[in-house]
Amino acid sequence: MAEFIMELNDEQKEVRDWIHGFAADVMRPAAAEWDEREETPWPVIQEAAKIGIYSLDFYAQQYFDPTGLGIPMAMEELFWGDAGIALSIVGTGLAAVGVLANGTEEQIGTWIPQMYGDVNDVKVAAFCSSEPDAGSDVASMRTRAVYDEAKDEWVLNGTKTWATNGGIANVHVVVAVVDPELGSKGHASFIVPPNTPGLSQGQKFQKHGIRASHTAEVVLEDVRIPGSCLLGGKEKLDERLARARERAKAGGGERVKNAAMATFEASRPAVGAMAVGTARAAYEEALEYAKTREQFGRPIIDNQGVAFQLADMRTSIDAARLLVWRASWMAVNGKPFTAAEGSQSKLFASETAKKVTGQAIQILGGNGFTREYPVERMHRDAAIYTIFEGTSEIQRLVIARTLAGMPIR
């Protein structure tokens, strides 16, 4: 187990500086344009692919960093560049992780390369879990997958929503119900290959923030996929469902749910790191503005009303980063989240991003309210962090129930 440290090593610093350079030189100059266009920034994704940032190898190297700091460091720098473009770059990773976590070696080798494409023909992938009536309440999921034994095919029907890259993806990973009686333990994940009949894009959402990231509904109407597209395979699924049924009979259902919740806990620090990146970007803009903007013959940072805000902003950002790093280290090293440390990091960082970006607008005054300055966009982008990957209210519920030793439903 790696020792918990609060400073990046030399190799990590080199990677951080490399990503920061891409964020500063490529992402930032393009941010306002793609926010206005509300379209997937394909040219920027291609540039990321050319230098190796948009690739499975890059994320795998960061994910397997024994210190746990690789992923949060990368997320912070990319989202410092621009949240919408960054989400377009990392969104495919959600689907790739779903395959890595549940797929066979053959499935991993077959489908993940198709998710990314190549430098000359970049592709994206989509992870489809949320539904119109099943966001935080995953047990309410309605999308069904029925096995056609005669043809060795699965038939999928339902509607997914809030899917990053939904409908434009080369490969879709879809979570569906295979046994409704088991609630969230009766779910399975499926690969929907490119150009499969019956899958279509529904509504594309026009969003408040992260507008360079494509978000849409995915409609599944009698989508037939080969049996080999069930992640993990039929035998593994049947064994898992049998164990879940036995546990349910023995009254162990809540324990199973808590084990599943631990998986979500481990992924939430990455979202916290995204929020830290956006907050830091807004703070830096506000700090520079406060040092150069003069009113009444002196820089506005000389006024306590501004200086104290900046002090609080920096303190909150540093505190958020430390919570994210602690939870990330715990996740990589198998430390139990006895106080819901994953949710703690996501909650505090998300709320910090919303507050800090708002304070940045206040410090810039009228300029901050215009699109000539990036803090307006950063403030809009920051709103998503308290919503996706579990709302702030859900994080507080998870933390409170964990502290009380209560089941997390």
The catalytic residue positions are: 389
Closest-CA residue to 212 (of 91, 49, 361) = 91
Q: Is 296 left (phi over 0), alpha (psi -120 to 50) or beta?
A: left
| CA 386 from centre of chain | 12
Partners of 145 in beta bridges: 156
What element of type H or E holds 125? strand 125-128
Identify each DSSP E strand in 131-261 by its residue range: 144-148, 153-164, 171-177, 187-192, 199-204, 215-226
Start-to-end CA distance of the chain, whole Å, equals 31
Percentage helix, strand, coil for the chain under 3-state DSSP, each rounded to 5: 60, 15, 25
Partners of 46 in beta bridges: none
Q: What are φ and ψ of residue 11, in 5° steps?
A: -65, -45
Rounded alpha-carbon distances, angstroms, from residue 23 to 20, 107, 136, 246, 261: 5, 32, 32, 50, 33
Rg (CA), the chain: 22
Give CA–CA dist 95/360, Å, rounded: 34
| Structural contact between residues 62 and 73, judged by C-beta atoms closer than 8 angstroms | yes
